[in-house]
Structure 1
Amino acid sequence: MSALDRTSTVAVVGAGTMGQGIAQVALLAGHRVLLHDAAPGRAQAAAEAVAGRLDRLVAKGRLGAGDLKDAVARLVPAEGTADLAGASLVVEAVVEDLAAKQALFAELEAVVGDGCLLATNTSSLPVTAVAGTLRLPGRLVGLHFFNPAPLLPLVEVVAGAATSAEAVATAYDTAAAWGKTPVRCTDTPGFVVNRIARPFYAEALRVYEERAADPATVDAVLRESGGFAMGPFELMDLIGQDVNEAVTRSVWEAFFHDPKFTPSLAQRRLVESGRLGRKSGRGWFGYPQGSQGGARPGRGGVQKPEFPPHTAAPAVAPTSVVLRGDLGPARALPGLLRESGIEVRETAADGPGALLLPGGVPLRLADGHPMPAPGVRFDLALDYRTATRVAVAPCDGVHADAVEQAVGLFQALGKDVSVVGEVPGLIVARTVAMLADLAADAVARQVASARDIDTAMRRGVSYPLGPLEWCERISATYVRDLLEALHRDSPTGRYAPCRELRRRADAEGGVVSS
């Protein structure tokens, strides 16, 4: 293991929120920490703020009084970069500006020893470019913490084009020694999380733009059916619409306007109107003055929802249905229906599986294809037993009785039901498929290993499963076929499945890729 010894000094440059958080993490790991900021007096004020947060940890019983005293003694404000000469690691957390970072590291290189590891906390700039002007670019590595750094476990360890294997190993092992969950990745736009997470927002915005569902309903479906901790619209409001849109635009431009990363016009208009989310008091949702910061639209507290998620009125469930063929990722449903007292008769059939409602109307899992009339689609769920909401979409012309039967069927399983517009892939299915596609492509391009990608998405943004774990659970064949159907419906390249996903699907079917 090549982690820095606890006796090594760590310097943090940039005393804002992120810099303070990184300093706190290094302090609690036992290091002496030098905290520097170019603004006069800011380092001292930041050191006092860190000490105050540690004091609150003592009050909560999460840190001993003796540990607090030792930590505060090891935290030293540094007024100039010359004071950082003895550091073994310098972590930069200054403004996201390439020229500013290059100038800082050039200044640091003239001060610290050749054995000092240099790290940038950039979330959007190329690590290769940050190191491009250094005399020893091999010692600069990306060390991307997530905010708030003391609480969120993930750290992306990013290797630039010139970064040495030794620098990556030291950064990785040090982050692990600090109690973090590090993942290795190459220097690619968005690294792992900000690259692969784009469809979580983009597909929700697309469903909204196609007027298939409102933001509150999309959020509820992805939380309560997909198992995500937050819905995309409330998460965009929390991050800040301007910040979220800027990251999307940055990744899109870095990939030379690849349609898979195309920004949303609806979000652009929101930013232009100044509706930036919680920080401005209004984004997709309203945040009245005095509302609880953690209140969720539609969930209790002092903040009441302006537009609650669409939830269907109680409906009568059919007493029996016919199972025709295999329901694929929804094959647990017949057993759940039997448990609820609904008779399920089976009949063999080729082609897509379906539950035949009384009258013969098919109820099918979303697979990217338009629903042939008459018919009703239902959305993918992380776990149909534990999901508390399911989205259904009737095709044009289907009789209202069939829609009510479909609603009643899922209500009999204890689910809330959201009736949404019939868009190919519905909400959860198309989102998960796109996440899996970008993750598979990143593996093929050696951005990161499959294990690190899944770890990053679970630990960095609290996904219920890593995208590749999810793909394996529902089958790469289902994901590929869904995306191919979406691509035929919208042939822009946005939904074209990547080569690696097609290879995985072929392997499931015993097909040898050419």
Structure 2
Amino acid sequence: MDNSSGRITGMTAIEPKATVAVVGAGTMGQGIAQVALVAGHRVRLYDTAGGRAAEAARAIGARLDRLVEKGRLTADARDAARARLHPAARLDDLADPALVIEAILEQLDVKQKLFAELESVVPDDCLLATNTSSLSVTAVAGALRLPGRFVGLHFFNPAPLLPLVEVVRGFATDAEAAERAYATVAAWGKTPVRCADAPGFVVNRIARPFYAEAFRVHEERAADPATVDAVLRECGGFPMGPFELTDLIGQDVNEAVTRSVYESFFHDPKFRPSLAQRRLVEAGLLGRKSGRGWYDHTAGAERPRPRTEEPCEAPRALTVHGRLPRACAVLAEMIREAGIAVTEAPGPDDDGHLALPGGTELSLTQGLPATTELAGTRIHFDLALDYRTCTRIALAPSATASPSDVRAAVGLFQALGKQVSVIGDAPGLIVARTVAMLVDFAEDAVGRGVASPEDVDTAMRLGVNHPRGPLEWGRVLGAVWVGQVLRNLHFEYPDGRYAPSQPLLRRAAVEESLL
């Protein structure tokens, strides 16, 4: 680094022999320190609370012992790592690091004060990084003498286990500093993704609909939390549902991130928080850590079961009108394989559907409610990650659908090996509206230069363990279908929340021009 300009000129990872300092000895600080230790660095750990750094060093040592017991680390490597870990009693003890990573309170003024003090201690060629998940990297660096060397390194908890690190370049961050931070994280065995300093970065920005759509379905009394979670897991392929996941994260933590992103986007309705979740936080029902959140986590409490229909008889025959949307085209083949006769009839190529024996139209949701002013009765079914392998499907009948046709629709999917949850007439049901919003948020983020398409999909797979990156999912479904779902949802809720982004609309226009 040129000390006169404060500009980092090296674009390679910091040397393994270099010292890394971690400020903040809580859960995240300990995890980050462990990552740097195992990568071979000498680590200085500092916390303002007296004795906290030494206590954290002992906790890290205990975790290294467990890695040895599990065969993931040799005893010699553990001993060497312990010898490299040094608790620091004062900030002045951090005079020689090549990199300082902060993991303290999510308060802007506190972080700014810390880094202003650090600048008077560390050398000018030292990279400075914040692990913030919700604050602006640009704002944290705003008061620094050399803001060009400041980056965001957003690790995910637990840092030693989760591979993703968002490398965030603030408005004043030098490209060389960001690249050196990226190379360092990669050298530590992590998977870094580059992103601009935008609210929520990549993961916390794009993941908002996963929670918000589920909460809205619940608030509208279309389905209970257990059913929503089950549908997103067993039909959508997500590893956890949003209600159980936020109970694990902590309702206060999840809601605070949502509010921070909402406020950072100047109250854009796309990011509007949930009133139901706010009430949980106000009541102190924070999830597992308080014993109760959406679910009761006290000892002996029984977990609510999702709504699941009793066995029904499948129809012996049905008709396919037109060409089923490509998202569910495999259903016709699956129905034949189940021994149900299928007759093909003319129909619109872009909106094919199944006709039950009683005349009710059974179709993939397009974002509208099943109950409309149009003539006829309808039952909508939800989007699945994979109709062959999914184990549950959600159905939403119109108010005019006869009980016998609802039973026939239930029996049809049961014959295909699925459990069936009949929910209220929610536009877009559960999986479809969630995935459509995730795709749109991802397209918008790429269109605004937040991150590359590859980094967006990598971040969502590794950061929140989604079964597909949202952009990949959008390519599978087609931007035309995703855009139509969102247009219809926007028609039902004309407050701007579901208005498709311009990048998605442009992609849909290109798709249509190629048809």
Same fold (TM over 0.5): yes
* 1:246 CA drift (Å): 1.1
CA distance in 2, matches of 1:96, 1:245: 14
2:389: which partner in 1? 386
Confirm whether residue 410 of structure 1 aligns to residue 407 of structure 2.
no
Any idea what the Cα deviations from partners look like across 1:360-395, whole Å, max 9, x if unmatched? 211000101232541100000000000000000110
**Quick check: 1:235 aligned with 2:238?**
no
Q: Deviations over 1:141-193 (max 9, x none)?
A: 00000111001111000000000101110111111111111111111111111
Deviation at 1:304, TM superposition (A): 2.6
Partner of 1:344: 342
Q: Does 1:469 align with 2:465?
A: no
Q: Distance in 2 between matches of 1:492 and 1:173?
A: 43
Counterpart pick for 1:487 among 485, 490, 500: 490
Q: What is the rounded CA distance, in whole Å, between the counterparts of 1:21 and 1:474 in structure 2?
A: 38
CA distance in 1, matches of 2:476, 2:190: 28
Q: Which amino acid aligns with 2:500?
A: P
Q: Corresponding residue for 1:441?
A: 444
**For residues 89-131 of structure 1, what are the alpha-carbon distances to aligned partners after superposition, in whole Å with 9 as ceiling and x for unaligned?**
0000111111111111111111111110000001111000110
- Please list, as runs of the form range in 1=range in 2, the aligned pairs for 1:128-147 lying within 5 A after superposition: 128-147=138-157
CA distance in 2, matches of 1:99, 1:210: 39
What SS is found at the alignment partner of 1:222? helix
Secondary structure in 1 matching 2:100 = strand
Find the aligned partners of 1:357 and 1:158 in 2 and give their Cα distance: 53
Per-residue displacement from partner, 1:298-344 (whole Å, max 9, x unpaired)? xxxxx532x31000000011111111112211001111111111121
Separation of aligned partners in 1, 2:55 and 2:367: 55
Matches within 5 A, 1:103-118: 103-118=113-128
Q: State the distance in 1 between where 2:363 and 2:414 align.
A: 16
Paired with 2:279 and 2:90, the residues of 1 have a C-alpha distance of: 43
Q: Distance in 2 between matches of 1:493 and 1:164?
A: 36
Partner-residue secondary structure (3-state), 1:484: helix
Secondary structure (helix, strand or coil) at the match of 2:513 reads coil
SS in 1 for 2:32: helix
AA matched with 2:481: Y
Report the secondary structure of 1:50's partner residue. helix
**Corresponding residue number in structure 1 for 2:315:** 318
Residue 63 (structure 1) aligns with: 73
Cα displacement string for residues 218-274 of structure 1 (whole angstroms, at most 9, x for unaligned residues)? 000000000000000001111111111111111111101100011111111111111
1:497 is matched with which residue? 500
Q: Quick one: distance in 1 between partners of 2:203 and 2:432? A: 20
> Secondary structure of 2:165's match?
strand
Residue identity opposite 2:44 in structure 1: L
Match of 2:357 in 1: 358
Partners of 1:326 and 1:129 lie apart in 2 by: 52
- Taking the TM superposition and a 5 Å limit, the aligned residue runs for 1:248-259 are 248-259=258-269
SS at match of 2:416: coil
Q: CA separation in 2, counterparts of 1:194 and 1:370?
A: 29
- The 1-side partners of 2:265 and 2:279 are apart by 23
Partner SS, residue 343 of structure 2: strand
The separation in 1 between residues aligned to 2:369 and 2:290, in whole angstroms, is 39
Residue of structure 2 in register with 1:508 after alignment: 511
Which residue identity lines up with residue 344 of structure 1 in the other structure? V
Cα distance in 1 for partners of 2:135, 2:255 equals: 16
CA distance, structure 2, for counterparts of residue 196 and residue 503 of structure 1: 19
Q: Secondary structure at the match of 2:332?
A: helix
**SS in structure 1 at match of 2:151:** strand
Deviates more, 1:75-84 or 1:454-463: 75-84
2:450 & 2:501 partners in 1: Cα distance?
A: 15
Q: Once the 2 structures are TM-superposed, how far is the Cα of residue 472 of structure 1 from its aligned partner?
A: 0.6
SS at match of 1:509: helix
Aligned to 1:123: 133
CA distance in 2, matches of 1:123, 1:442: 17
Aligned equivalent of 2:293: 283
Distance 2:323 2:46 in 1: 62
Q: What is aligned with 2:5?
A: none
> What residue is the counterpart of 1:274 in the other structure?
284
**2:330 corresponding residue in structure 1:** 332
Letter in 2 for 1:158: V
1:511–1:342 CA distance, 2 compared to 1 (3 A): closer
Give the aligned residue type for 1:176. Answer: A
Q: What is the match of residue 26 of structure 1? A: 36
Matched, 1:15 2:25: yes
Q: Write the distance in 2 (CA, Å) between the matches of 1:440 and 1:98.
A: 29
**Corresponding residue number in structure 2 for 1:79:** 89
State how far apart, in whole Å, the 2-side matches of 1:172 and 1:410 are: 48
Structure 1 residue 348 displacement after superposition: 2.1
Amino acid at match of 1:113: P
Q: CA deviation at 1:501?
A: 0.3
Match of residue 102, structure 1, among 94, 112, 116: 112
State which drifts further: 356-365 or 379-388: 356-365
> 1:47 corresponds to which residue?
57
Structure 2: which amino acid aligns with 1:80? R
1:216 aligns with 2:213: no
Match of 1:263 among 248, 269, 273: 273
Cα deviation, residue 347, structure 1: 1.5
Q: After TM superposition, give the deviation of residue 359 of structure 1 in Å.
A: 2.1
Task: Name 1:206's counterpart in structure 2.
Answer: 216
Could you give the per-residue CA deviations for residues 193-221 of structure 1, whole angstroms, max 9, x where no partner exists? Answer: 11111100100011011110000000000
- In structure 2, C-alpha distance between the alignment counterparts of 1:19 and 1:285, rounded to whole Å: 30
How many angstroms apart in 2 are the aligned matches of 1:17 and 1:369? 45
Q: Secondary structure at the match of 2:421?
A: strand
**Farther-moved stretch of structure 1 (352-361 vs 474-483):** 352-361
| SS of alignment partner, residue 510 of structure 1 | helix
Amino acid paired to 1:112: V
Q: 2:199 aligns with which of 186, 189, 192?
A: 189
In 2, Cα distance between the equivalents of 1:227 and 1:218? 13
Alignment correspondent of 1:309 = 306
Q: Distance in 1 between matches of 2:323 and 2:12?
A: 51
Counterparts of 2:105 and 2:359 in 1: how far apart (Å)? Answer: 61
Q: 2:403 aligns to what?
A: 400
Letter in 2 for 1:146: F
Aligned AA for 1:325? G
Aligned-partner Cα distance in 2 for 1:370–1:113: 62
What's the RMSD between the two structures over aligned residues?
A: 1.2
Q: What is the Cα deviation at residue 511 of structure 1?
A: 7.5
Name which of structure 1's ranges 345-354 and 47-56 shifts more when overlaid on structure 2: 345-354
